[in-house]
Amino acid sequence: MLIGALLVAFLLSIFLTPFVGKLAVKLGATDKPNERKVHIKIMPRMGGLAIFLSFFITFLIFTLILNKFWEQLPLLVGALVIILIGMADDIYELRAAPKFLGQVLAALIIVLWGGLEVKFINLPFFTDTLHFGIFSIPITILWIVAIINAINLIDGLDGLAGGVSTIALVTIATMALIKHDLFVAMAALTVIGSTLGFLKFNFHPAKIFMGDTGALFLGYIIAVLSLLGYKNVTMVSLIVPIIILGVPISDTFFAIIRRIVNKQPISAADKSHLHHCLLNLGFTHKQTVLLIYALAACFGLAAIIFSFATMWGALILVAGLLLIIEIFVEKIGLVNSDYQPLLKMLNFKNKP
């Protein structure tokens, strides 16, 4: 059944993507080159509609087979809200406020109607449990909205967001299978199949972009699936989804730091994201995408190892990851060329 869901979604996506591309052109959902864009010609966007339709049809079939359709209806309704917001943005280029409100609405649907809520965690080295109480709903909504925007921010090169999302979903599916959670595994594999089919047309040189329709949907579904099975768990287990999404979360985090350091509005757009920095270092378009894929795969592997580690092993792994991320960020100039506190400190210590 799991392989069947993957294959059905994959074939549907390959079939639907060309039609969605033609629809995007007719609706005016095209991406024009500018100083922030890497591409040099007008491209159809809104390709994420093909990913969503492939997922929706396949998910509908298999949830009906498993008799879980009504149970999972909030997830589908939330996804539909996200898709409508993404399509509207791809066609009309919405302002930030309505996009944000749409994301919050989708999150509210899955949280309030679907019951997805992180209510408490058990703290390591302590016997007490930290209950979130009235903050449990805001914290869960914040997670969903944050991941939606993290995936959206990394969507800057052909196949980048789709590939990074696929790697994260493969990790989520693997973790679900380890925990014998067949539903989450099926849902993740369905999105994987849908995204891989789309990547046939989206990998460099792309024939179509996923647009906000795809980036927002992938962010939403990844945020939801990454939380399923990690509700009411230990602090260590709650870190697993964060590690899985290490690449987009790190890029978003340091984008915020960069704008604070450079005294720019946090919402300001720039051309200094992870993929921009790697391109500036001389990597080709395809090399940059493959390098970020490799980074995402390393985070995914780390998340799996982390889930089996002892308490001290997990803490050492997290500390090592944070150290590696910081050195990497300083080396490529992700904040700016002068931001090198750790490298400068190490260099100072190495001086005679």
The residue with greater pLDDT, 164 or 341, is 164
Task: Identify the residue whose tokens are 């490529």.
Answer: 332
Highest mean pLDDT among 95-104, 279-288, 323-332, 338-347: 95-104
Token pair belonging to 206: 């792309």
Instruction: For residue 59, give the nearest of 117, 146, 1, 142 by alpha carbon.
Output: 1
Confidence class for position 36, pLDDT limits 50, 70, 90: low
Rounded to 5 degrees, what are φ and ψ at 45? -115, -160
- State the amino acid at position 317 in one-letter form: L
User: Would you call the peptide bond into 205 cis, given omega within 30 degrees of 0 as the criterion?
Assistant: yes
Percent of the chain with pLDDT over 90: 50
* pLDDT at residue 33 is higher than 80: no
Q: Among residues 244, 343, 224, which one has the least CA distance to residue 297?
A: 244
Cα–Cα dist 54/333, whole Å: 39
Query: Per-residue pLDDT for 234 more than 90?
Result: no
Identify the CA nearest to 28 among candidates 46, 48, 1, 52.
Answer: 46
Question: In this model, does residue 235 exceed pLDDT 80?
Answer: no
pLDDT score of 30 more than 60:
yes
User: Annotation-wise, does 152 bind a ligand?
Assistant: yes
Cβ within 8 Å of residue 325, ≥6 positions away: 246, 250
Say which residues have a Cβ less than 8 Å from residue 163's Cβ, sequence separation at least 6.
Answer: 199, 203, 289, 292, 293, 296
Residues counted in the chain: 352
**124: how many CB neighbours lie within 10 A of its CB?**
13
pLDDT band at 260 (very low <50, low <70, confident <90, very high): confident
What is the mean predicted confidence (pLDDT) over 8-12? 97
Mean pLDDT taken over the chain: 87
How does pLDDT run across 136-177, given as a tens digit for each residue? 899 999 999 999 999 998 888 889 999 999 999 999 999 889
pLDDT value for 351: 52
pLDDT of 232 reads 46
pLDDT greater at residue 347 or residue 335: 335
Q: Is the dihedral of CA 61, 67, 68, 69 positive or negative?
A: positive
According to the per-residue pLDDT averaged within each range, which of 40-44, 117-121, 155-159 is highest?
A: 155-159
Q: Widest CA span of the chain, in angstroms?
A: 70
The rounded distance, in Å, linking the Cα atoms of 52 and 36 is 27
What number is the average pLDDT over the span 13-33?
92
Task: Give the model's pLDDT for residue 218.
Answer: 97
The mean pLDDT of 322-332, rounded to a whole number, is: 88
The tokens for 318 are 């997290």
- What is the average per-residue pLDDT within 204-228? 93
* For residues 237-249, average pLDDT: 80
Q: Which residues contact 323 (CB under 8 A, 6 or more apart)?
A: none
Q: Is the pLDDT of residue 240 over 50?
A: yes
**146 vs 34, 113, 142, 152, 249, CA distance in Å?**
26, 20, 6, 10, 8
Please state, in angstroms and rounded to a whole number, the distance separating the CA atoms of residues 258 and 126: 35
The winner for highest mean pLDDT among 30-34, 216-220, 258-262 is 216-220
Q: How far apart are CA 98 and CA 310, in angstroms?
A: 44
Share of the chain above pLDDT 70, in %: 90
